[in-house]
Amino acid sequence: MRLDNKTAFITGAGSGLGREATTRFAEEGATIVAADIDLESAEETVDQVEEAGQDGAAVELDVRDADAVHAAVDEAVEEFGLDVVVNNAGVSHQRTKIEEINEGERDRVIDVNVKGVWNGCHAAIPHFKEQGSGAIVNTASLAGVIGAPELGAYSLSKGAVVNFTRTVAAEVGPAGVRANAVCPGVTDTAMPRKNRTEAEWETAKEEMARYYPLKRLGNPEDIANAMLFLASDEADWITGQALVVDGGFSCT
């Protein structure tokens, strides 16, 4: 199995892409530390991990809290060891013109999406450097590569994740540590469904899919598979990359 005898620490693991990633990683042999601001959701994720026959632990974690992130990572290292960190926790905002988005909403997005990734890397890097190995996978977005009108704060945050990932890769590569980002297009998770009824979402999916060469939106497993590849030894000579997983949207 691709992650046999490895431990993965995954943030935002209680739902969406984070939950899908934990399941895929567990299926490939990983021990999972599932961190989420919603402990109950993280525990539900760990139940799925254990159903897959792997060990798991749930951690209540606000990724904006640097001390809490360090403590959680240190505890994971002590209990299980650490081989992979997936900094996946993230938030978006309602579509709003740049000049109309309020400062509080902008800061909320930056605090989770940028500081959260910084904190996860900051906590893991010393452990990875000490052992001479480790893989970091950061969840960015297509919006951080090509931009997205009326998603200014979100695009700002995800663009920062992409460039920070490159910086991390360049800095820690000599220690045997890799860092990459995944940049999903629109994926069928709770985030794009927010404030839409099921019927409205189905209509929106059909409309958006017209702009994708593969004629569908992403599924969570599409993104989890990309995360799994970057976390595995199959990607042993890949670092500093922003892997766009978008059904071809960015090539049209």
Q: Quick one: pLDDT at residue 191? A: 76
Q: What are the tens digits of pLDDT across the range 37-91?
A: 999 999 999 999 999 899 999 999 999 999 999 999 999 999 999 999 999 999 9
In a domain, 106, yes or no: yes
- The yes-or-no verdict on residue 176 having pLDDT over 90 is yes
Whole-angstrom Cα distance, residue 32 to residue 8? 5
The CATH number of the domain holding residue 89 is: 3.40.50.720
In a domain, 2, yes or no: no
Q: Is residue 64 part of a domain?
A: yes
Interval 88-110: pLDDT, tens: 999 999 999 999 999 999 999 99
Segments forming the whole domain that contains residue 32:
7-251
pLDDT (tens digit per residue) in 211-250: 999 999 999 999 999 999 999 999 999 999 999 999 999 9
Any domain includes 101: yes
Asked whether residue 1 is assigned to any structural domain, the reply reads no
Task: State pLDDT tens for residues 142-169.
Answer: 999 998 999 999 999 999 999 999 999 9
Closest CA to 136 of 102, 100, 182, 94: 182
User: Rounded to an integer, what is the distance from CA 22 to the centroid of its chain?
Assistant: 11
Task: Say which residues have a Cβ less than 8 Å from residue 102's Cβ, sequence separation at least 6.
Answer: none
Please report whether residue 15 resides in a domain: yes
Whether 151 and 98 have beta carbons less than 8 Å apart is answered as no
Q: What is the pLDDT of residue 147?
A: 85
The structure tokens listed for 200 are 């409205």
Angle at 97 between CA 95 and CA 101, to 5 degrees: 85
Collect all residues with Cβ–Cβ distance below 8 Å to 101 and sequence separation of at least 6: 93, 152, 153
Please state, in angstroms and rounded to a whole number, the distance separating the CA atoms of residues 102 and 213. Answer: 35
Neighbours of 200 (CB within 10 A): 11
Only one residue has tokens 């900094």, namely 87
Residues belonging to the active site: 154
Distance of alpha carbon 221 from its chain centroid, rounded? 13
Report the number of distinct structural domains present in the chain. 1
pLDDT value, residue 190: 77
End-to-end CA distance of the chain: 36
